[in-house]
Amino acid sequence: MSEIVLKTENLGISFGGLKAVDNVNIEIKKRQLYGLVGPNGAGKTTVFNLLTGVYQPTTGCFYLDGEKLTGKTQEQINHKGIARTFQNIRLFNNMSVIRNVMVGLHNQPEFKCNPFVSLFRLPGHFKTEKAMREKAKEILRIFDLEDERNNLACNLPYGKQRKLEIARALATNPKLLLLDEPAAGMNPYETEDLMHIIRRIRDEFDLTILLIEHDMKFVSGLCDEITVLNFGTVLAQGTTDEALNNPEVIKAYIGE
């Protein structure tokens, strides 16, 4: 339980003179549900973009399982085991639900298939396709999306689109899952349901999860520890109750 999965050291990025994220130190232990909260524009999503290689940090670095991942491309970081969802849903809209998940499975070693094997339709092609389809169905079952598998992703209702995005990220077999506002736009029932799912995938897939969320009930119900960001700097850090009751945090959220 004490093994550290993600460690950031003085992580920071500045765009011109603006320090969007400055000096962020986070340590996330294995199987932990870790929250990242803060007012709008605090730099939460920027931290995600740094951790997934969309931006390269200008200062500091981060480690996954002790391996330094700073400077790697988005693809490489995904292969190393960090997967993410997006704040504004980015599904493959014109593909069916199951194909969305199968794209996530693309780089799994058990589904390796040379492009030329596919071009010539050798037996290996059919074998991988079938295995991928089964695996994708299995993942969709967890999210209760199996019956929707042949619908276009863009035709799904919002809550299901969010779930599908998590399913797709999960398909890349990550060690660390980054969820960017997973409950945004969901009604209380869906949020409740999502909390169960997140706990379930954590247990089933032995995952570590870092999530951004504005719904404090969601955060306090789910996360063991949180980091509060404000204007790119860490305002408070620690167990959820402690950090949320910190007077500085209350000041940043509600004002004096």
Nearest to 48 by CA among 9, 21, 73: 21
> If binding means CB under 8 A, how many residues of this protein chain bind other proteins?
44
> Is residue 107 near other proteins by the rule CB under 8 A?
yes
Report the distance separating Cα 175 and Cα 96, nearest Å. Answer: 26
Nearest distance from residue 252's CB to other proteins, in Å?
Answer: 30
Which window, 18-26, 101-109, 183-191, 227-235, contacts other proteins (CB under 8 A)? Answer: 101-109
Q: Which of 61, 113, 195, 216 binds other proteins (CB under 8 A)?
A: 113
C-beta closer to other proteins: residue 83 or 186: 83
C-beta closer to other proteins: residue 115 or 255: 115
Residues within window 137-166 making contact with other proteins, judged by CB under 8 A: 150-152, 154-155, 161
> Is residue 130 near other proteins by the rule CB under 8 A?
no
Residues making contact with other proteins (CB under 8 A): 52, 54, 74-75, 78-79, 83-84, 86, 88-96, 99, 102-104, 106-107, 111, 113, 115, 118-121, 125, 128-129, 132, 150-152, 154-155, 161, 168-169, 172
